Structure 1
Amino acid sequence: MADKIRQSGFIMEQQADEDLLLIEAYGDGGFRLMERRVEGGVLVLPTGFYPMDAETLADLTPAHFSKIVDEAPRPEIVLVGTGAKMQLLPAAIREHLEAANIGYDIMDTGAAARTYNVLLMEQRRVACVLLPVD
């Protein structure tokens, strides 16, 4: 099942407030969302999650953010979890998000996952790109 999720992503339709797509756990090189294990990096939107082929900041490209830019309505903010510690985003990604008029905040992956959950529960339009931690 993890291989299938890694290749295609998972889209959900919220039926009630308790159906929010929350990040349930992180660590050991992946994440748990909707009771499913996702290995490696992941893009999380309130409407679905999408495994990414990026595991380090050096692997991230503007293309990893294309679903966010295409999302309607666009998120107010994108949280970027850069791994075990906060690191600066490459200029190409910053410029890509700024050109799309999308705010972003960078932090370590644990902080990004927790902040995403809180903002989602507050009914904010939020998205996150999370790099794995061990």
Structure 2
Amino acid sequence: MAGSGIVIRAAHYPGRAPIEAYGNGGFRFADMSHRGSLLCLPSGIHGWQPADPIALTAADFDKVVAEAEGIEILLVGTGEEIRPLSKELRAALKEAGIAADPMSTGAAVRTYNVLLAEDRAVAAAFVAVD
């Protein structure tokens, strides 16, 4: 009986949706839940695993830069506390034409939902919080 194991796929929701709740290491949106961090991009909502959530790097945002054309502002939820973005990361995003705004994950979720409701070209990177 080949193929009877569980297939793990990259988490992806192919649309834009407000974040209904966050905490306990994950998020709720579109009547679903996701454990871990998220990228909310024009192509949809993607599971995201930054190498080090405390020290985000330009490589963590490759998928964001790839979709830069559809993004005016990137909200970066850095966890419980606001953490500045590295000079390297800010330069990579600026080169792609993306204005990035770091804030706590809670503030980023609230701001994302408002901008999404206004149909703005917003994207977000949310580090999960407990």
Q: Place the TM-score, normalised by the shorter chain, in its bin.
A: 0.7 to 0.9
Query: Is 1:97 the equivalent of 2:93?
Result: yes
Q: Which moved more, 1:32-41 or 1:124-133?
A: 32-41
Query: Is 1:8 the equivalent of 2:5?
Result: no
Q: Which of 110, 116, 123 in structure 1 is aligned with 2:112?
A: 116
Q: Which of 14, 17, 29 in structure 2 is aligned with 1:21?
A: 17
Aligned-residue Cα RMSD (Å) equals 1.9
Map of 1:57 onto structure 2 = 54
Q: Which moved more, 1:61-70 or 1:108-117?
A: 61-70
Q: Which of 47, 66, 69 in structure 1 is aligned with 2:62?
A: 66
Task: Could you tell me which runs of 5 or more consecutive residues in structure 2 were left unpaired when the two chains were aligned.
Answer: 1-6
**Does structure 1 retain, via aligned residues, the 8 Å contact 2:42–2:71?**
no
Tell me the distance in 2 between the aligned counterparts of 1:95 and 1:57: 18
Tell me the distance in 1 between the aligned counterparts of 2:68 and 2:48: 20
How far apart are 1:11 and its partner, in Å? 3.6
Determine which structure has the larger helix proportion and give its number: 1
List, as ranges, runs of 4+ consecutive aligned residues in structure 1 with deviation greater than 6 Å: none
Tell me the distance in 1 between the aligned counterparts of 2:34 and 2:121: 23
| SS state at 1:88 partner | coil
TM-score, normalised via structure 2 length: 0.84
Tell me the distance in 2 between the aligned counterparts of 1:117 and 1:45: 13
**Does structure 2 retain, via aligned residues, the 8 Å contact 1:40–1:52?**
yes
How far apart are 1:46 and its partner, in Å? 4.3
| SS state at 2:70 partner | coil
Query: Is 1:38 the equivalent of 2:40?
Result: no
Tell me the distance in 1 between the aligned counterparts of 2:53 and 2:62: 18
Larger Rg: 2
TM-score, normalised via structure 1 length: 0.81
**Does structure 2 retain, via aligned residues, the 8 Å contact 1:62–1:93?**
yes
Tell me the distance in 2 between the aligned counterparts of 1:86 and 1:49: 22
Query: Is 1:85 the equivalent of 2:81?
Result: yes
Tell me the distance in 1 between the aligned counterparts of 2:24 and 2:58: 26
How far apart are 1:72 and its partner, in Å? 6.2
